[in-house]
Amino acid sequence: MERSAKPLLRALSGEAVWPPPLWLMRQAGRYLPEYRRVRAQAGDFIALCTTPDLAAEVTLQPIRRYGFDGAILFSDILMVPWALGQGLAYREGEGPMLPPLRSAEDVAALQPTRLPGAIAPILETVRRVRAGLAQDFPDCTLIGFAGAPFTVACYMVEGSGSRDFAATRTLALTQPEVFDRLMALLVDATVTYLSAQIDAGADAVMLFDTWAGILSPMQFRRFVIAPARAIIAALRARHPSVPVIGFPRLAGLLVGEYASTTGVAGIGLDTSMDLALAGAAVPSGIALQGNLDPLSLVAGGAALRQEAAGVLAGLRGRPAIFNLGHGIVPQTPPEHVGALVEQVRAT
Amino acid sequence: MERSAKPLLRALSGEAVWPPPLWLMRQAGRYLPEYRRVRAQAGDFIALCTTPDLAAEVTLQPIRRYGFDGAILFSDILMVPWALGQGLAYREGEGPMLPPLRSAEDVAALQPTRLPGAIAPILETVRRVRAGLAQDFPDCTLIGFAGAPFTVACYMVEGSGSRDFAATRTLALTQPEVFDRLMALLVDATVTYLSAQIDAGADAVMLFDTWAGILSPMQFRRFVIAPARAIIAALRARHPSVPVIGFPRLAGLLVGEYASTTGVAGIGLDTSMDLALAGAAVPSGIALQGNLDPLSLVAGGAALRQEAAGVLAGLRGRPAIFNLGHGIVPQTPPEHVGALVEQVRAT
């Protein structure tokens, strides 16, 4: 395998690159005026995700502005249910709405054969971003992504966001055969989807399990670790040199078990994680990615410098990628992001 | 110190009592028909919390029905802001509403001198529960409680519940002197409040830090660990033999540090905690309390038995208290609670 010049891929191959390569979750988003202009032009959010020239444009905007080491495909974790034919709508200020799945019939009505055609515009976005990076930012790593099966299932079953996804977890406990069928279908769809993103030009892929932390340890092993392991094994068989970053948000004490048993090359750490303790729990060849508090980016000034210095100290000396512990929030002043980039680069 | 016959106090003194003593967070609550009857009679929720004969009655209801080893005072973590003169209202289905605190002036307007008078009816409830237990359930431990300062501050600053308490965390980052003043005031109020509960007859007290998990490690040490340590030191000076249970929900990797540096005799573990890993992180003399998934109590049957068996296996061999990882939810069938009690007692 050729040694990559891209710093983020070097970190994911186990090299302690310093200063750490840097990107931020939701770096393409509403805090940027140039994003808001394209968003207004697109009409609705799903149109933005499925119009390749617009989605590629917003993917590249933060790279032009800040020179991040990673460009993450602009898309949404619910494009998989959308591609499987479950209705999806975004109402302004309310988040996603889907007709909830609650029975074996609801799961059987999903259309996996629809997926390859439906995701075609997203793959075209990947190709355009790839071409744009090759021309202007050859050292920038293109990151594809998908929601992990449990988190995607949470929205599919609940039909919307929720604080505790009680309907989803109750379905998993009371109708395990229905929930297992949905999870198996999502594992397959995720492999197809991520593999196609890699074929279209993604250098690495990330699996977002936003709601992993609401499960008991038994459920975490079954619904978070096992699907991640299955997906990564299937991807590795097809694309042995493409690294996967796993992000089991709020995994807490189970972060080490997730990191050492799923096959990830990098592990996303949420804001709550102490980096010294996480570093001790995660095998040393796996890159730590995280975990600045997104609200310190809103605050700026001394609070931002102090929190960022804490993260940098925690990442030093091992393969690592500087990131947030959760997505950028819309009220973030863009100049605070600039100050953070300077601080990380000057370290 | 006299050796207690109460199993829950024995566990909190470091004894590996087996089967483990048992109580459930929110064991007095809407899932019980006898609770709903008293609630309807009380009018609003605050009236229920501040009418001693009604609050004592609902505290004792689950003890009569299930014979739990612990009776927790029926009250609310927001009785402290209420007692400090911050307006508090519960609107049906919406949760608590308070006029948000956002400035030094807002914090200065709180009235700590109001607290001792305002909490008088709650202390009367404690005395009545104490008398009721002494007569009919002499082995049942009376547990007083308060919200921990960070979690209480979350509601006081935000003015309501929230998914991420962004306003609170932003205040802490951008106006640390205002937030520190509020936290110091809450530490003092919590000591006064818990100490008065002990004087009124509480055998043990618990500190609920529901939102501890949304903080960065630096913030967790400052806003969760340091206040807990200060409160416990002050309580121990006045009541050396009364144990404190800390519940830093979603503490994740920091659970060991919290347990070993705050002075707690027991540590509440949320549903996500692996008991083997938590047990390795927490000093062996400290009781583990937890951590069954409340939704498995909704599901019942095989799912409940399996999850409960997992918790029992994790608690075995050390001082421990069987509990949930979060409060009972209203849709829980009371007969599932009965089945759980049987399973724990038969272990």
Q: Pairing mode, if any, of strands B95-97 and B89-91?
A: antiparallel
A30 is catalytic: yes
3-class DSSP assignment, residue A147: strand
Tell me how crowded residue A180 is: count the other CB atoms within 10 A of its CB: 14
**Cα torsion angle, A78, A79, A82, A83, sign:** negative
E strand intervals along B231-329: 244-248, 266-268, 287-292, 320-324
Q: At what angle do helices A226-238 and A176-199 cross, to 10 degrees?
A: 30
The values of phi and psi at residue B31, to 5°, are: -70, -15
How far apart CA B233 and CA A131 sit, in angstroms, is 62
How far apart CA B28 and CA B125 sit, in angstroms, is 14
Q: Which candidate in B162, B221, B272 is best for mutational testing of the A interface (most A CBs within 10 A)?
A: B272
Q: Which two tokens stand for residue B262?
A: 């705050």
How far apart CA B212 and CA B147 sit, in angstroms, is 11
Complete edge-to-edge strand list for the sheet that includes strand A70-72 = A70-72, A141-147, A204-209, A244-248, A266-268, A287-292, A320-324
Residues of chain B whose beta carbon is less than 8 angstroms from a beta carbon of chain A are: 163, 166, 169-170, 173-174, 176, 213-220, 250-255, 257, 271-275, 277-278, 281, 291-293, 295-296, 298-299, 301, 303, 306-307, 310, 325, 329
How far apart CA A157 and CA A166 sit, in angstroms, is 10
Closest CA in chain B for residue A162:
B163
Tens-binned pLDDT, residue by residue, of chain B (347 aa):
456 789 999 999 999 999 999 999 999 999 999 999 999 999 899 999 999 999 999 999 999 999 999 999 999 999 999 999 999 999 877 889 999 999 999 999 999 999 999 999 999 999 999 999 999 999 999 999 999 999 999 999 999 999 899 999 999 999 999 999 999 999 999 999 999 999 999 999 999 999 999 999 999 999 999 999 999 999 999 999 999 999 999 999 999 999 999 999 999 999 999 999 999 999 999 999 999 999 999 999 999 999 999 999 999 999 999 999 999 999 999 999 999 999 999 99
A229 is catalytic: no
Q: Which candidate in B175, B216, B297 is best for mutational testing of the A interface (most A CBs within 10 A)?
A: B216
ipTM of the complex: 0.95
Q: Do B253 and A275 lie within an 8 Å CB cutoff?
A: no
Instruction: Dump pLDDT digits (tens) for A209-259.
Output: 999 999 999 999 999 999 999 999 999 999 999 999 999 999 999 999 999
Q: Do B174 and A299 lie within an 8 Å CB cutoff?
A: yes
